[in-house]
Structure 1
Amino acid sequence: MNLNMVLLYAFTYNFAYIARKLGLSLINMVDFSLALPDEVCQELGQRARLRRVALNISVEELAKRVGISTNTLGNFERTGRCTLATFARVLEVLNALPDLAAVLVTHSRTIEDMRQKASVNNKQRAYTRKKAVP
């Protein structure tokens, strides 16, 4: 299961009711593989807001726990823009850090997989037209 699916399940499964109450549509959630970076940031901010509301935490309380101003938190929830450290602290308070466990994980391969890949000759050359010999 890839990261997009993990995040999608983690943030949508429990929060569909809250999203409807807030007037947000989960049907139109952003597919991160097709989204621009700004769209991904905005979507993560909206999902953090959903998680905060689901946990019944006010903006003031979350901002206090994270150590940022309410304006900074509101800006993050609207635009998704903040520092990486702030993002990590927000996720920590919202108990969402485990959702990032699969991010940027390098999948190790066995030696046998590497040998098999090395033994396959997958070089292909483009077709070239033979020059006419005069």
Structure 2
Amino acid sequence: MDTDTAHIRFDTKIAILLRDDLESWQRLNVSAFLISGIATANPELIGEPYTDADDTGYLAMFRQPVLVFAGSKETLRTAHSRALSRNLPISIFTSDLFSTGNDRDNRAAVRKIGRDDLDLVGMALHAGRNVVDKVLKGARMHP
């Protein structure tokens, strides 16, 4: 088998779970914020920089796909609980963050609410494939 074209199967999965009632701009915004948390916590997930045929350089990106899922508010709450019970590092985005404009205010908005009362609109995680599948059980691939 030609190793340059062989299918690569990753032992881990990078996943984002979004609440299914978000507007399009919110889904994109939340995804961008959430995935930045995964990237900063897991620098080994970042591949090599890109270069085009004209030798123009571009930034490096994840070495593996990022899967995006959708689910109800309850699906998100359940996934959040499952991730925390497994001590998985996750990034979260709450509805309050749509009304803040900077990192300091974002952190303050999350800090003032207990974990069981967070109005989650998204979360992201990176873990073993089976672990991510168990945490996100009940969610569906984002349309």
Normalising to structure 1: TM-score of the pair?
A: 0.25
Which one has the largest radius of gyration?
Answer: 1
Q: Which has the higher contact order (CA 8 A, sep 6+)?
A: 2
> Could you say which structure has the higher strand fraction?
2
